[in-house]
Structure 1
Amino acid sequence: MSVARIATLTAAMAAVCTVATAGNAAAAGQYFGTIAVSKLKNSAVVSADGGSKVQADAAAIRDCGYYDCEIVFRFNDGCAAIAQGADGNWGWAAAGSREEAEGAAVAGLGESTPAFPDLGSASPRAARVVASACTVNVQ
């Protein structure tokens, strides 16, 4: 058997294994999610229910919609949230419920003072939840 034929067969087997693994994960009830952030546009999205990490990543980048979107967090079989502090910093967390994930994301950032110059109040304030989602297999 030639080296080229062996390489072709190896690549074909790897592709079949990859597809089978992705299919088995979804069939077993495992779902993936991804958080993506655009720092230039000050935007974030949470994608859930991907059958694989790759599908969840692709959905998050697509939904983010800006050229500078980057993946900052991945989760599976649960909920995730992303929050932004008054100072512009981002924080994210995963948990068993949406409320827990949102609370953890906000708590992780704590209170912060807006960046200078801020035309509003300069007193510290809590972070705000920007986006959150849960995979379909979470009650």
Structure 2
Amino acid sequence: DVALWHERDISHSSVERVALPDACLASDFALVRMTKVIDGLVVDADRMQENLEATRGLVYSQAVLLALVAGGNSRDEAYRLVQRNAMRAWDEGLQLQDLLAADPEVDLSDDALKVCFDPARAVANASVVWDRLAAL
């Protein structure tokens, strides 16, 4: 038992003697390993594009949902519209953008849909992230 509030016994010393050094060593190992992974990383832009195309536009469904909500649809209605068309795109091997453009319940213009399906939007703020990382 600890007699006074400002005193302590050695029951928690294992944290200082074992756990904290182990956590530091594990962090060091993870950083060294990740540095090796990143140094050897090769970005295959063509394969990335193929992977995006393989989704038939499903990766852009959130952007469509948000555009529908911004256009006045309730979130539930927007979700229902996107989900219905996304499931059809997946099941039938069709492009989500084409299905949405043909759906009379989807009140987005072709230009608005093009904006939703623009892959550049996904990385629009990447430079900000890299700048913040470089500042560390």
More helix by share: 2
TM-score (norm 1): 0.36
TM-score (norm 2): 0.36
Highest RCO, 1 vs 2 (Cα 8 Å, sep ≥ 6)? 1
Larger Rg, first or second structure (1 or 2): 2
